[in-house]
Structure 1
Amino acid sequence: MTTDPPDPPVPEAMLTEAGFEPVERRTETLFEVGAVRIEGITHRYEDNRSSEAARDATDGALDHPIRFFAVTRLVFQPSLPFGVSLSMFTSTLRREARSSFAAQLEDRGLGNVERGSSQKLRFDGSRVRVREFSAEDLLGEGDGRSFSLSFRLSVLTHRGTAIVVTAGFPASSVAEQFDLTDPQAMLTQSAAEYQATFETFLGGVYEELTA
Structure 2
Amino acid sequence: MPADPAFPDVPADRLRDGGWALVDESVETVFKLPTARVEGATKVFDDDGTREAVREAVGFDHQWRFFFATALSFTPPLAPGIGPAMILPTVRSEAQSAFAEELADRGFESVERGRKERVRVDSGDRARFRTYSAELDLAVDATLSITGWVGVWHGDGFRIAAGAYPDQSLSTLLDIENPPEPLRRTPSDYRAELLALIRAVA
- What's the TM-score once normalised by structure 1's chain length? 0.86
Residue in 2 aligned with 1:196? Answer: 192
Distance 1:174 1:31, change over 3 A: same
Residue in 2 aligned with 1:164? Answer: 160
Residue in 2 aligned with 1:83? Answer: 81
Distance 1:195 1:37, change over 3 A: same
Counterpart check, 1:64 vs 2:62: yes
Q: After superposition, give the CA deviation of every residue in 1:115-174 in whole Å (9 maximum; x if it has no partner).
A: 11112333466543211111112213xx86321122110002114x00100111111110
Tell me, what secondary structure is at the counterpart of 1:154?
A: strand
Pairs aligned (count): 200
Distance 1:136 1:164, change over 3 A: same
CA RMSD for the aligned pairs?
2.0
Residue in 1 aligned with 2:113? Answer: 115
Q: After superposition, give the CA deviation of every residue in 1:37-64 in whole Å (9 maximum; x if it has no partner).
A: 211110111211110111232331xx22
Distance 1:164 1:53, change over 3 A: same
Tell me, what secondary structure is at the counterpart of 2:132?
A: strand
Tell me, what secondary structure is at the counterpart of 2:200?
A: helix
Residue 3 of structure 1 and its aligned partner are, at CA, apart by 6.7
Residue in 1 aligned with 2:6? Answer: 6
Distance 1:144 1:69, change over 3 A: same
Residue 199 of structure 1 and its aligned partner are, at CA, apart by 2.2
Query: 2: CA distance between counterparts of 1:59 and 1:187?
Result: 14
Task: List gaps (5 residues or longer) in structure 2.
Answer: none
Which of 142, 145, 154 in structure 1 is aligned with 2:142? 145
Distance 1:118 1:195, change over 3 A: same
Query: 2: CA distance between counterparts of 1:188 and 1:114?
Result: 27
- What's the TM-score once normalised by structure 2's chain length? 0.89
Counterpart check, 1:154 vs 2:131: no
Query: 1: CA distance between counterparts of 2:143 and 2:91?
Result: 32
Letter in 1 for 2:93: R
Q: After superposition, give the CA deviation of every residue in 1:19-48 in whole Å (9 maximum; x if it has no partner).
A: 212111011221223242211110111211
- Determine if contact 1:138/1:144 at 8 Å carries over to the other structure: yes
Task: List gaps (5 residues or longer) in structure 1.
Answer: none
- Determine if contact 1:119/1:130 at 8 Å carries over to the other structure: yes
Distance 1:111 1:187, change over 3 A: same
Letter in 2 for 1:120: R
